[in-house]
Amino acid sequence: MSQLETRKAQHVKIVAENAAMDRQRNYFDDIRLMHRALPEINLDEIDPSVEFLGKKLTFPFMISAMTGGASPLLQKINTHLAEAAEAEGIAMGVGSQRILFAEPAAESSFALRGVAPNTPLLANLGAVQFNENMTLQHANAAVDVLQADALCLHLNPLQEAIQPEGDTHFSNLRKKIGEIVQGLEVPVIAKAVGAGISAPDAALLIQAGIHTIDVAGSGGTSWSWVEGERSDDPSLGTLFQDWGIPTPLALQQLAPFDLTLIASGGIRSGIDMAKAMILGASICAMARPFLAPAMESTDAVRTVIRRIKREFTVAIFLLGCKNIQALKSNGDLIL
């Protein structure tokens, strides 16, 4: 088993077995919404569907990047997630595909188009790896294996700084990102990893040709904490576990930009989703709530998706909004 495969297995084990790494700072609880006692619409009139990457979603939701690798467990997780995403009409992102180039057997965990023919699928590579040994050829390979609709380049300097074997050469990445944007036939999405993306960073990413950003702010899974648990001294990971821009604040800071925003990081309910959409998100995403169900079955994942969709639909009904356009265009809903 390669070092990368071992690391992925450790990540899944730590996240699945330790509730403490999910910070649950509940930043979205600080936002109050205007309840409409007279919504003037019927619940069964609500249409929560949206378009994302040219495909229709039943509601603005995505299973965010988690894992993928050669082991049967990692393959099972991704298959269950993809099957559930297809059945429920949502999008799905995969974990870092860097493992493909160290473990060829990992390909089957990313070859998901057969079980998810209509699902928007997002490939995933670490942006910093293009300062190491990755090239446009690797990016194309990651997209091709998944038959992806887009490629996420994740930006995770905090995680890499805490990770025992982390790569921390983040200089001149804007240029490298721009080269990938120009060279790929699918859109490139910039994605944070639990610490958010600031307005100055958004401006740099726009210069590189990025049009969609997953803010992935602080409030949920702490990858600083996870990597600290993998180190000889977890104190540094613990110290930085709450570092970053809370997801609601990241959305507010990036709202003025001409960007499509994905909200992830600490979103744990349909109510959180409604708040994120009002703050400027076009789609919302969660990861950790799906890990345990994905280790069980496709049906277990579908149950979670349906619960979240129901919560979201009830929330926008109680706000008096018939569809997503009405929700996103009504900032007055925040008290």
Q: Is the residue at 19 inside a domain?
A: no
Residue range 183-212, pLDDT digits in tens:
999 999 999 999 999 999 999 999 999 999
Q: Is the residue at 21 inside a domain?
A: no
Token pair for 306: 């349906």
Q: Is the residue at 223 inside a domain?
A: yes
* Pairwise CA distance, residues 115 & 316, whole Å: 31
Structural domains counted in the chain: 1
pTM for this predicted structure: 0.93
> 147 with 183: CB under 8 angstroms?
no
Q: Is the residue at 20 inside a domain?
A: no
Residue range 215-268, pLDDT digits in tens:
999 998 888 888 888 888 899 999 999 999 999 999 999 999 999 999 999 999
CB atoms within 10 A of CB 225: 24
Indicate the burial class of 325 (C-beta count within 10 angstroms; 0-12, 13-18, 19 or more).
exposed
> 99 with 4: CB under 8 angstroms?
yes
Token pair for 290: 């799906």
* Pairwise CA distance, residues 103 & 106, whole Å: 6
Q: Is the residue at 135 inside a domain?
A: yes
For 38-60, the DSSP string reads S--S-GGG-B--EEETTEEESSS
Q: Is the residue at 106 inside a domain?
A: yes
Residue range 4-49, pLDDT digits in tens:
655 545 555 555 556 655 555 689 999 999 999 999 999 999 999 9
Containing domain of residue 277, as a range? 3-14+26-333
Rounded (10°) angle between helices 3-17 and 72-88:
60
Q: Residue 320's domain is classified under what CATH number? A: 3.20.20.70
Report the C-alpha dihedral over residues 167, 170, 172, 178, rounded to 10 degrees. 80
